[in-house]
Amino acid sequence: MTETPLLLLGTGPFTEDVADMVAEMPGWRVDRLVDSIDPTRAGDAVAGIPIVWVDDLAGYSGSHHALGALGTTKRRAFVEQVEGYGIPFATIVHPSARVSTSAKVAEGTLVSRGCLVAARAAIGRHVLLNRGSTIGHHTTIDDFVTVGPGVHIASSVHVGSGTFIGIGATIIDHVKIGAGAIIAAGAVVTGEIPERVLVAGVPARVLRENVEGL
């Protein structure tokens, strides 16, 4: 089978985990890691995978796809920089994940090991669904959302763009979460969450306003 070379955005420990997942998928091969912070790392390697500086990507536009491998909600600028070089983004669904045939998963999204995406769910661009997370039927996840490991999002929920949902959080049915919100690990969300707030607890309560993401 022909393998498409993949550029992973990021060089940290989570990037190694994403590379490990991609290695279990037919049709893809991690070829380079992309750094946007320290240009002196170009030519180094992580787990045997060479690093390339983001401003040196022009030569990869005709042959490679890219995928974000960063948990930060501030990855949008990095993604847009790579898109500016004409590099398309892959959509990666791990073989152990289960995505309903009626669900939609957009470009640049990673559906990790053991995830479940139910009927009529809509997952936006550049979303990270980390291992073991579940997305209920008719739920919408907007672009650049990070869903931590073991998160459970019930049905008919709307999660606004750039939201971060920490490990083990639970969101009940028919809840709307504003863009840029941060849901702390283990929180139980039972009502509407405004934009750009940090919430925590059971039930989740607003602890801080005007947050800038993680």
Q: Which of 37, 62, 83 is the last residue before a domain boundary? A: 83
159: exposed, middle or buried (C-beta count within 10 Å: 0-12, 13-18, 19+)? buried
pLDDT tens, position by position, 93-125: 999 999 999 999 999 999 999 999 999 999 999
Q: Are 115 and 184 members of one domain?
A: yes
pLDDT at position 24: 94
Sorted by sequence, the CB contacts under 8 Å of residue 194 that are 6+ apart come out as 178, 181, 206, 209
> Which CATH number covers residue 57?
3.40.50.20
Q: Are 182 and 117 members of one domain?
A: yes
Q: Which of 58, 83, 108 is the last residue before a domain boundary? A: 83
Establish if 212 belongs to a structural domain: no
Establish if 194 belongs to a structural domain: yes
Q: How many CB atoms lie within 10 A of CB 31?
A: 18
Establish if 210 belongs to a structural domain: no
Closest C-alpha among 120, 134, 19 to residue 67: 19
Q: How many CB atoms lie within 10 A of CB 177?
A: 26
Q: Are 79 and 97 members of one domain?
A: no
pLDDT at position 1: 63
Q: Are 67 and 12 members of one domain?
A: yes
Per-residue pLDDT band for 173 (boundaries 50, 70, 90) equals very high
**Cα angle 212-11-107, degrees, rounded to a multiple of 5:** 70
Q: Are 120 and 191 members of one domain?
A: yes
Q: Are 66 and 100 members of one domain?
A: no
Which residues are tagged catalytic?
Answer: 137
pLDDT at position 214: 80
pLDDT at position 73: 84
Establish if 18 belongs to a structural domain: yes
Per-residue pLDDT band for 35 (boundaries 50, 70, 90) equals very high
β partners of residue 18? none
Q: Which domain holds residue 98?
A: 92-200
Establish if 118 belongs to a structural domain: yes
pLDDT tens, position by position, 42-64: 999 999 999 999 999 999 998 99
pLDDT at position 95: 95
